Each structure stands twice: as C-alpha cells, then as structure tokens.
Amino acid sequence: MKPKAKSFLIVTASVGSGHEKAAAAVAEGIKKQHPDAVINIIDFMSVKTSWVNAFMKSCYLNMLYFVPNLYEFMYQFTAGKKKGGFVKWAMSSVIVYSMKTLIKKYRPDTIICTHPFPADAVSHLLEHKRADFDSCAIITDYSVHQMWVCPKLNHYFVAIDSMREQLVEFGISKDIIHVSGIPVSEPFCHSYDKVLCRQELGLDTDMPVVLMMGGGLGLGGMDAAMDQLEKIKMKLQLLVIAGRNEDLKKKVDVFAAKSHHNIITWGYTDRVPVMMAASDILITKPGALTLTEAMSLGLPMVLHEPIPGPETDNARFMSEGGMAVWLHSGDSLSKIIGDLLAHPEKLEQMSQNSLKYRRTDAAKEIAQRMG
C-alpha cells in the first residue's frame, strides 16, 4: 500500500508581499523534495479565514498609511517581554479560533508560519495540547521582535546569526533555531547575463538602468524619488514597479511623458528577477524579501523611507554590510545615484558584498528539515 502523502499547511499574511513570497518559495522547495506532498498556502489575514483577522489587517495598513509614528510607537511598546507578552496573549485569545478552524479543515502534519500572528496561534494551541503536528516559524526580517517569540514551536528559521542570539535571549532553545537565510523563489537563486536580460526587456544595453520598487503594495515615496532622479543630467532607463498601487502607476505614467529619462512602468509583475538582473541599482523601501532577492542577485541597493521598526533594522543590516546605501533625511537621492553610477568600482564592491551574504539554499534547507 502506498504511504499517505504528507500534508503541509503554510500560513502567511497579505500585508505587503514579503510573507507571501516566503511562503511560495518554501512551498516550491517542499514540492521539489516531496512531489507527492499536499501543500495548502493560506492567507491568515484574509476575510475568508476570519473577518476579525481581516479587520486587524485593515487597521495595520491604515496605521502605516495615515499615522506611521503610531505604528513605530506600537512596535517599540511591544518589543519588551512584559508588554509584548501581554499584547500577544490578548491577540492569541482572538486569533486562535481561526487557526483551530484551519487545522480542522486541512488536518496538516506540518504547519509552517511566515507571519507572527499565525505562529503565535499555533504556539498557543501546542501549549494547551490541543494539536499534534510539527511546526515552525520563518522570520522574514533581519531582526527579531517579541511578537515572533512563540515558545512551543518546534523550529525557527532565521536570516542571520545575530537573530539566533536574539531568540536565545528571549528564552528560545538554541537547538531549534536554524540560520537558513530568508527563502526566495528559484528564479532568484541563479546567475543571469545582464546584457541578455536588457535585450529581453527591450532596453538599451549601454545606458544605465535603475530599478525602482515599493514592495507589493507600492509604498515607499516612489513619486518623490522620481522628482529627485530628474535632476540627474545623464539619461537613465528607469524601470518602475508600482505593485498593486494603481494610483501610483498612473502618476508614474504621467511623469514618464515629460521626463528626459526613459521610464517604463509595471504594476504587479513576475518578471522581477530579470529586471533586477538587468539593473545597475535598485531603489526601494527596505522590505526584507525585496532586499533578499536583490542580495541573491548581487544587485546594489539604495534604501529610502523604511516602515518604522523592522524595516529600519533591515536597512541598518544592509547598509552596515556594505550592500546598500541608506538614504537618511536631508540626503540627496540624485547625488547618491549619480555618484554610484560615476564610480562603477563602488557598485562592484556592493555587489560582491551581497554575494558574500546571500543564502540561496534557504527554501531547500527548510524543506529538508520540515519534510
């Protein structure tokens, strides 16, 4: 008799694209190693999962857009064990019911979480012995926040060594913490020829290419950045990915008609690996998945307008590692981009620093340990 296929439940959250990208990369890795596996990827913050969770997502996004300083306050307020622990307990009491419903529906052998909310719900169920399955959290940033501390999980996968130390300080056993890197999909895990990628995109192979991204939600002050880039006299090819932000895409299209640069605009696209490989510099907000994808391809980065909290930590890690220039208040984007393009040796050093840190086997390692 053929053995029963193993069932995986990967629980993510549609707040930006990073958590979902990590979930998809892990599913890809599991499928390669276990072709018969049953894999379900669920958006924990979708109204289909729970209207309460969806309401929490709406509050989060509105806070980021309208009062980012309040978000920063909440992030710092919940960073400590006592305050953060209380908030986690209060949230667990609400969201644990939607996790119980998912478990009853899918009957998973293994649950993999790429967002702290479902990870905490899983930990809560395991603590009260209401479930029996293997479990893990994949932390999709370059630092650890208290909200990620879920003591009853079986495994943690983190990006860098310092995060293991942070988790140990929070009381997590070192034995269950694996420094795997952040998982990215297979197209970001191999090398490309820059000239061929430019030809594929219909670009001039000799003119500098600057890629601009704001994450899956199209955040990050991209329209203001374009005003700055207009000050650069050298003609550039600007590839602008607006994500799901239709208003931003329309603004960029209007701007492109009067710019002296060659501007090409995309909404949500699956051609990001080719665009990154074709580019000389990436300008982006420091979402961890975008940074990890760029790092995997050795693409130098200029980072601006981080979401207060985790993205600030991401920007710090990338800039201290020599992979990115972090644009602070008062810095001139046009001068920084102009200087980098005028000194290709700086770009080459940033690229080499990225290739030194990259971990393109993260999805494979997670699949092996959880399979």
Question: Which has the closest alpha carbon to 287: 13, 72, 16, 57?
Answer: 16
Helical segments of 243-287, H only: 246-258, 272-278
The mean pLDDT of the chain is: 88
Q: What pLDDT is recorded for position 72?
A: 56
Helix axes 51-66, 81-106, angle to 10 degrees: 140
Mean pLDDT over 241-252 rounds to 84
Question: Do residues 140 and 289 lie in contact, with contact meaning Cβ atoms separated by under 8 Å?
Answer: yes
Percent of the chain surpassing pLDDT 70? 87
Distances (CA, A) of 174 to 80, 81, 156, 183, 197: 20, 18, 9, 20, 42
Question: Which has the closest alpha carbon to 298: 360, 243, 206?
Answer: 360
Question: Which has the closest alpha carbon to 26: 112, 119, 118?
Answer: 112
Q: What is the CATH number of the domain that holds 243?
A: 3.40.50.2000
Q: Is the pLDDT of residue 94 over 90?
A: no
Q: Is the pLDDT of residue 171 over 90?
A: yes
Does residue 115 lie in a domain region? yes
pLDDT digit string (tens) for 50-87?
A: 888 888 778 767 666 656 665 555 556 556 555 555 45
Domain co-membership, 335 together with 290: yes
Question: Do residues 145 and 114 lie in contact, with contact meaning Cβ atoms separated by under 8 Å?
Answer: no
Give the pLDDT band (50/70/90) at residue 205: very high
Does residue 144 lie in a domain region? yes
> Which burial class, exposed, middle or buried, applies to 270 when counting CB atoms under 10 A from its CB (0-12, 13-18, 19+)?
exposed
Q: What pLDDT is recorded for position 243?
A: 79
Does residue 177 lie in a domain region? yes
Question: Do residues 89 and 82 lie in contact, with contact meaning Cβ atoms separated by under 8 Å?
Answer: no
Q: What pLDDT is recorded for position 227?
A: 87
Question: Which has the closest alpha carbon to 17: 180, 159, 185?
Answer: 185
Domain co-membership, 41 together with 76: yes
Domain co-membership, 168 together with 195: no
Domain co-membership, 29 together with 67: yes
> Which is more confidently placed, 28 or 3?
28
Domain co-membership, 117 together with 228: no
Does residue 368 lie in a domain region? no
CB atoms within 10 A of CB 312: 17
Domain co-membership, 81 together with 209: no
Domain co-membership, 211 together with 157: no
Does residue 371 lie in a domain region? no
- For residue 267 the two structure tokens come to 């909404």
Domain co-membership, 178 together with 197: no
Question: Do residues 113 and 132 lie in contact, with contact meaning Cβ atoms separated by under 8 Å?
Answer: no
Q: What pLDDT is recorded for position 310?
A: 85
Give the pLDDT band (50/70/90) at residue 202: very high
Distances (CA, A) of 100 to 29, 105, 151, 260: 26, 9, 18, 56
Percent of the chain surpassing pLDDT 90? 66
Does residue 229 lie in a domain region? yes
Distance CA 135, CA 112 (A): 6
- For residue 8 the two structure tokens come to 């995986």
- Amino acid in the structure at residue 171: G
| Listed residues 162, 183, 204: the one ending a domain | 183
| Listed residues 131, 160, 183: the one ending a domain | 183
Q: Is the pLDDT of residue 287 over 60?
A: yes
Q: What is the DSSP letter of 333?
A: H
Q: Picking from 95-99, 184-188, 364-368, which range would have the lowest pLDDT averaged per residue?
A: 95-99
Give the pLDDT band (50/70/90) at residue 362: very high
Domain co-membership, 138 together with 204: no
- Amino acid in the structure at residue 154: N
Domain co-membership, 48 together with 160: yes
Question: Do residues 304 and 281 lie in contact, with contact meaning Cβ atoms separated by under 8 Å?
Answer: no
- Amino acid in the structure at residue 209: V
> Which is more confidently placed, 90 or 292?
292
pLDDT digit string (tens) for 330-357?
A: 889 999 999 999 999 999 999 999 999 9
CB atoms within 10 A of CB 255: 18
Q: Is the pLDDT of residue 4 over 90?
A: no
| Listed residues 183, 211, 240: the one ending a domain | 183
Q: Is the pLDDT of residue 217 over 60?
A: no
Does residue 22 lie in a domain region? yes
Q: What pLDDT is recorded for position 38?
A: 96
Does residue 320 lie in a domain region? yes
Q: What is the CATH number of the domain that holds 56?
A: 3.40.50
Q: What is the DSSP letter of 280?
A: S
Domain residue limits at 58: 7-183
Mean pLDDT over 121-150 rounds to 89
Domain co-membership, 332 together with 227: yes
Total structural domains within the chain: 2
Domain co-membership, 170 together with 152: yes
The H or E element containing residue 285 is none
Q: What pLDDT is recorded for position 15?
A: 85
